[in-house]
Structure 1
Amino acid sequence: MRISLRPLAHGLLAATAGLAACSPLPKVLKQAETGRSVGTRPPVLTASGEAVPFEVVARVPAAHLRKGVAYELLLRYRYEHGLREDTLGRLTFTPGNYVYDDENKKLLVATQRFTIPNTPGRNPGELLAHGQVRELKKNGKTLRSADDVRVARGIADPARLVTREDTVLALLPEKASNVMSGTRVLPFFFDENAWFIRGYLGTNVQALEDLIDANQHTRQVLIIAGHSPDSTDAHNRLLASKRVRMLLYYYKQRVKNFSYLNKNEAIRFDTLAYVRKWDTFLQKVTTSALKPDQIDSVVTIINDTKGSFETKEKALHRLSYFDYIEQYIYPVLRFGTVAVTYTAPPRYNSELYLLSKKIVEKQTEADALTPEELRYSANLTPLLAEKQRIYEVSAANTNSWEAFHNLGVILLQRAEKEPTDKIQKAYYRRAATNFTLAAHRHPTAEFFYHAATTYHRAGDRLEALQNYDYAIKLGGERPLLRKVFSDRAALEIEVGQPDEALRSLQYAGPSYQNALNRALIEVGREHYELAQEQYRLAQTLRPTAAAPIYGLAVVAARQKDEAAAGTLLKQAVALDRNYAQRAVEDLEFQDYAQGKVFKEALR
């Protein structure tokens, strides 16, 4: 429960002012608090994820015990410069709530577990205990001690001490060919038994005209046409040739009237008419939606039926699914194709950039550039905002994993340049979303790791754990998987899952990051020898780093070895002066902060 703190007068409560001289309460209170000790396990309040669990251990002399009277400690946590406090509960020395101390039978020991939320506002703060004695009968009197006892100061949060060395994410390399030469293939379709070009909406007439009018140097034009097997088309043996000639005539007339670079005499024209041939028909049948046995029946009729072209076509009419053939296959066999081979001057980067700007600003259509060219154009500007817009348009138009991934990298770079934590995390979350979209379109361990580590930076721990898990399950190169396990272990420490973190570290291999994080877990478990081993390993892997030496100083402080702690602190500060301020604020050294050894170490 959180309440506002009001000024309280220390001393006896007004309610106890009238205690009779024969009351046992003052004597019991004095006996209980003579030789009393109160502490916590762990000695420093340590956060575990979003909570701070700890155990209060109180020892009081057994001589204070009186029938009908109980001594108890009221516990509260005060923070925000004494303006707020949480009432935690009480330890009461009544039968069943205490045991005799194993080492000193004259002392009673009471323990109780408590938990407070781990929020930034609660640090700095202090855990306070206030003793009192009370009569156990109904409406019994109470006598409180004069002063509070500070049990612990502040909260140590291992999540802030976790070591995680971020992997630098780079943009995927983008390439775009500036060579504009190539072959453009344009299909045309004709009405039944007709050879005139259809010029209405949905045909390629406009595309052919645009290609000719672009005045690209044309070397060769191939024109092919065919007909469907139905009797209307097939009875006219010249139909396919007429369609070829119509396309050829149309092309030459357009060149003659609208092209200033090309001349018909300089272009090589090749023509081909498919007359009463089944190969195109069979190709369409085998790629249709007909069932395999139906396709086999059609192929058998064409290949095995004896007789003329008309005989085979009439045999198709007897099929129960001939309506499908007539509706979906015959029309596409009334085709013509114009393939234009041309050369064009190379497209300059400046042109790509200007076109991409027009696409982003919706001044031209997105197909003015190929998807590769649009993504490549992002490399032509140094501005992250422009890169972001280009990749956003590319991702929206193509849904390609390359665009989503590179957009995530740009958002990550923008996040690192933001001064405020709130905006930075917003960019991290957007980047992580795009990495996730890329990973689901191109599922690899590396891409899911990118999503996980970005969610990790954003503080979305559940999403990060899930994506670390995806990356591990997909598998990959050993160095990558070791890094995934390393960062997953770091996250598991942050969320208060040290057992899971140790399991992850088993697969992470030896590294500076892993040694420091394993040592951090062992310090929290008070396994100081194991912690020292890991800190020394980290020191071996990176001799000039101050963090392992500082960690050894913390272990020495936990072991009450002030001299060793001072020596190690001095070494750490010599390597990195930032550790001087850190040591001043570190709760691990609070018992030595006023001592000469500590002050000498920080000079």
Structure 2
Amino acid sequence: MHNLHSRKSFLFSILLSTFFLFSVSGCTLSRMIKTGEARQEISVEPTVLAVNGNVVPFDLKVKVPAEVTGKKPVYNVVVAYQYGKKQTEPVTRLRFAPGEFIYENGTPTINRQLSFPYTPEKASGKLVAQAEAVKPNGRVKRGKVREIAPGVITTSRLTVKANAVSLAPDTYRKGVSEPELLTFFFDEGKAELRDYLGTNMDVLKELLQSNYKIQAVEITTGHSPEEADSKDPKLARKRAQTFEKYMRHQLDVNSYTNTNQSVKFKVQPVVRNWERFLKQVQLSALSPEQVNQILDIINGPGSFRDKEKQLSKLDSYDYLQLYIYPALRYADVRITYNVPQKKDSEIYLLSRKIVENRIDADKLTEEELRYAATLTPLLSEKLAIYQAAAENTMKWQAFNNLGVTYVQMAQQAVKPTTRDKMLREAIVNLTYASHRNPTAQLFYNLGSAQYLLGNYPEALQSYDYALKLGGPVPVLQQVFADKAALEIETGRLDEAVVSLAYAGTSYQSLMNKGLIYLLKGNYEQAQTFYEEALVLKPNDALAHYSLAVLAARTNQPEALASHLHQATRQEKSLTAKAIDDPEFRNFVGTPTFREALK
């Protein structure tokens, strides 16, 4: 009986001790949370979050009292972004354990540069923080969820961009065989063939192995005015000889239709000649004043080398080095050959049979197969024909048109996953096209698709390639305009200013100039550009919305209401955007704001 009583007393003591320990543990965690929440300091910069490219970046500083930074338990601050219908995206967990924080003026502190991915549904939401105390055994006590920053401002996305894609010009002409022109580029001072930036030698090799009857090959090569390229007067001839040697070898070992005896070769090196340079300058986005300065030098006295030295002193020389000189280290290979001609109905029916694998692709030439795609209005049929053309001919025109068709179908897609899949296919094919035939238009097509998919660094690189290759002024101005829009969206405002200097004075350029000044805080200049844009495009919804943002930042409620009313009247979707836009957070509840949205 005594033993039974002792055993009961022992069990009671254990239960009491366990209860006491849990009570103390719970009390410790609660006290830590209470102490931490009362005295912690959390600051976010910017105070209102803003999108930059595909992410929302911000700097976070958290200070906590020293009492909560002991070894056990650990005091944490959990940061997340809440948006939509109870959706939460974790951002970070800051642990105030020994060795994981610093002392700033004697206070335990953690500084972090953080970001989270941006998607449109996150435009309306808030950045929140929650204290938590965690014991080694996993027991957790959490504090209240507190807002530390509203967001997300998306004003940097009020850009105007075209992101256009264009089909390759139709080279099929009934009764006419068009020569094939392939352009290749060399490294500065070099005559060796290279296999990047549009110089894929497989394209030339495949053409030489084709069953077309080649009549003649003309190789024209040149060099840039730079010292490394112009000091050797035989460099252009060496480049031409490199291509001739390569092509003759391919005819010897791979071609069964053509031979070195049946194909007439003509080699034409262009040495210390300014003609192509002047053509590139005329096709550039340089201002008329800059072009005239260059023309004065080229048409003036002095040797070839003297004129290059004079060019190096111009303020446009950086542009010449980046966008003109690389295009002068070239080889133009023009191949003339014959192809038979067929009726439209026959071409279309044969293309369908090729797509369905009922006949061999060689029943149509590559020009005929691409031409067949123009004979149907259905994107799905165009896609199938261009796929067959790309697989069987490997020509840049087929790859380009296949990529453009993928972009067009992506723009009609309902599901985001389908859209992104098609854009990825478009990028693959547009990459093949632009590297087989490097022109400003093709690299612009590629950059447009990359932008639409959100591949911003790649898009900027493609725009840069396009500008270096030169081309018609309208094309280059459009490239500069879209490049500037992307630079604005990714926070490169100073670079965007430079790009817009070459983008002309279109509606797009004026709108994006206005946005740059708006983001920089030069509201007077921003308003000037937006009003000029409205002259070109009266009643434009985006211009009025942008002016409403400007009015909000300068605390002009009447102007805000007027422009917002104009914007929402022209485009109804801007009503919901305005209500959720943090730019208008100080005006949303006012009668003036509500009246403007009616």
SS of equivalent residue, structure 2 residue 384 = helix
Of 512, 515, 518, the match for 1:520: 515
For residue 115 of structure 1, what is the aligned residue in structure 2?
114
Displacement after TM superposition at 1:149 (Å): 5.4
SS of equivalent residue, structure 2 residue 58 = strand
**Superposition pairs for residues 66-105 of structure 1, below 5 Å?**
76-80=79-83, 81=86, 83=88, 85-87=90-92, 96=105
Of 353, 358, 367, the match for 2:362: 367
In the alignment, the residues of structure 1 paired with residue 173 and residue 527 of structure 2 have an alpha-carbon distance, to the nearest angstrom, of 54
For residue 553 of structure 1, what is the aligned residue in structure 2?
548
Displacement after TM superposition at 1:483 (Å): 0.8
Displacement after TM superposition at 1:449 (Å): 1.2
1:450 matches 2:453: no
The answer to whether the 8 Å contact 1:550/1:569 transfers is yes
For residue 214 of structure 1, what is the aligned residue in structure 2?
none
CA displacement 1:83-113 (0-9 Å, x = unmatched): 5554565999987389xxxxxxxxxxx9976
CA displacement 1:478-532 (0-9 Å, x = unmatched): 2211111111122223333333222222222222222333333333333333333
Change (3 A) 1:476 1:94: same
Q: Please list every run of at least 4 consecutive aligned residues from structure 1 whose deviation after the TM superposition is greater than 6 angstroms.
A: 16-19, 56-59, 66-70, 72-75, 90-95, 110-113, 129-132, 144-148, 285-288
In the alignment, the residues of structure 2 paired with residue 535 and residue 42 of structure 1 have an alpha-carbon distance, to the nearest angstrom, of 26
Aligned amino acid, residue 600 of structure 1: E
Aligned amino acid, residue 582 of structure 1: K
SS of equivalent residue, structure 1 residue 150 = strand
The answer to whether the 8 Å contact 1:411/1:427 transfers is yes
In the alignment, the residues of structure 1 paired with residue 37 and residue 376 of structure 2 have an alpha-carbon distance, to the nearest angstrom, of 77
Displacement after TM superposition at 1:82 (Å): 6.4
In the alignment, the residues of structure 2 paired with residue 153 and residue 431 of structure 1 have an alpha-carbon distance, to the nearest angstrom, of 37
Aligned amino acid, residue 518 of structure 2: V
CA displacement 1:298-318 (0-9 Å, x = unmatched): xxxxxxxxxxxxxxxxxxxxx
**Superposition pairs for residues 241-280 of structure 1, below 5 Å?**
none
Displacement after TM superposition at 1:118 (Å): 2.7
Displacement after TM superposition at 1:601 (Å): 0.9
For residue 53 of structure 2, what is the aligned residue in structure 1?
49
1:167 matches 2:164: yes
Change (3 A) 1:522 1:115: farther
CA displacement 1:438-484 (0-9 Å, x = unmatched): 22222211121111112211222232222111111111122211111
User: TM-score, normalised to structure 1's length?
Assistant: 0.55
Aligned amino acid, residue 125 of structure 1: G
Displacement after TM superposition at 1:545 (Å): 0.2
Change (3 A) 1:174 1:96: same
Deviates most, 416-425 or 534-543:
534-543
Displacement after TM superposition at 1:45 (Å): 0.7
Displacement after TM superposition at 1:557 (Å): 1.5
For residue 375 of structure 2, what is the aligned residue in structure 1?
380
The answer to whether the 8 Å contact 2:430/2:442 transfers is yes
The answer to whether the 8 Å contact 2:450/2:458 transfers is yes
Aligned amino acid, residue 114 of structure 2: T
User: TM-score, normalised to structure 2's length?
Assistant: 0.56
Change (3 A) 1:67 1:443: closer
CA displacement 1:344-370 (0-9 Å, x = unmatched): 9x9542222222222232322333223
SS of equivalent residue, structure 1 residue 380 = coil
For residue 499 of structure 2, what is the aligned residue in structure 1?
504
Aligned amino acid, residue 519 of structure 1: G
Q: Percent identity?
A: 36
Unaligned runs of 5+ in 2: 1-25, 70-74, 133-140, 178-259, 266-339
In the alignment, the residues of structure 2 paired with residue 42 and residue 367 of structure 1 have an alpha-carbon distance, to the nearest angstrom, of 62
In the alignment, the residues of structure 2 paired with residue 439 and residue 390 of structure 1 have an alpha-carbon distance, to the nearest angstrom, of 20
The number of residues matched between the two structures is 395
Change (3 A) 1:539 1:41: farther
SS of equivalent residue, structure 2 residue 374 = helix
The answer to whether the 8 Å contact 2:423/2:453 transfers is yes
The answer to whether the 8 Å contact 1:73/1:129 transfers is no
In the alignment, the residues of structure 2 paired with residue 164 and residue 599 of structure 1 have an alpha-carbon distance, to the nearest angstrom, of 31
Unaligned runs of 5+ in 1: 1-12, 20-24, 60-65, 99-109, 133-143, 181-282, 289-343
Change (3 A) 1:88 1:97: farther
1:573 matches 2:573: no
For residue 154 of structure 2, what is the aligned residue in structure 1?
157
1:582 matches 2:581: no
Aligned amino acid, residue 398 of structure 1: T
1:420 matches 2:415: yes
SS of equivalent residue, structure 1 residue 443 = coil
In the alignment, the residues of structure 2 paired with residue 377 and residue 600 of structure 1 have an alpha-carbon distance, to the nearest angstrom, of 56
SS of equivalent residue, structure 1 residue 427 = helix
SS of equivalent residue, structure 2 residue 166 = coil
Displacement after TM superposition at 1:596 (Å): 1.2
For residue 125 of structure 1, what is the aligned residue in structure 2?
125
In the alignment, the residues of structure 2 paired with residue 590 and residue 375 of structure 1 have an alpha-carbon distance, to the nearest angstrom, of 54
Change (3 A) 1:596 1:386: same
The answer to whether the 8 Å contact 1:44/1:588 transfers is no
For residue 476 of structure 2, what is the aligned residue in structure 1?
481
Change (3 A) 1:378 1:126: closer
Change (3 A) 1:171 1:507: closer
Aligned amino acid, residue 162 of structure 2: E
In the alignment, the residues of structure 2 paired with residue 57 and residue 527 of structure 1 have an alpha-carbon distance, to the nearest angstrom, of 29
SS of equivalent residue, structure 2 residue 127 = strand
SS of equivalent residue, structure 2 residue 161 = coil
Displacement after TM superposition at 1:593 (Å): 1.4
In the alignment, the residues of structure 1 paired with residue 427 and residue 37 of structure 2 have an alpha-carbon distance, to the nearest angstrom, of 59
The answer to whether the 8 Å contact 2:553/2:583 transfers is yes
Find the structure with the greater CA-based Rg: 1
1:465 matches 2:453: no
For residue 588 of structure 2, what is the aligned residue in structure 1?
593
Compare relative contact order (CA 8 Å, sep 6+) and give the higher one, 1 or 2.
Answer: 2
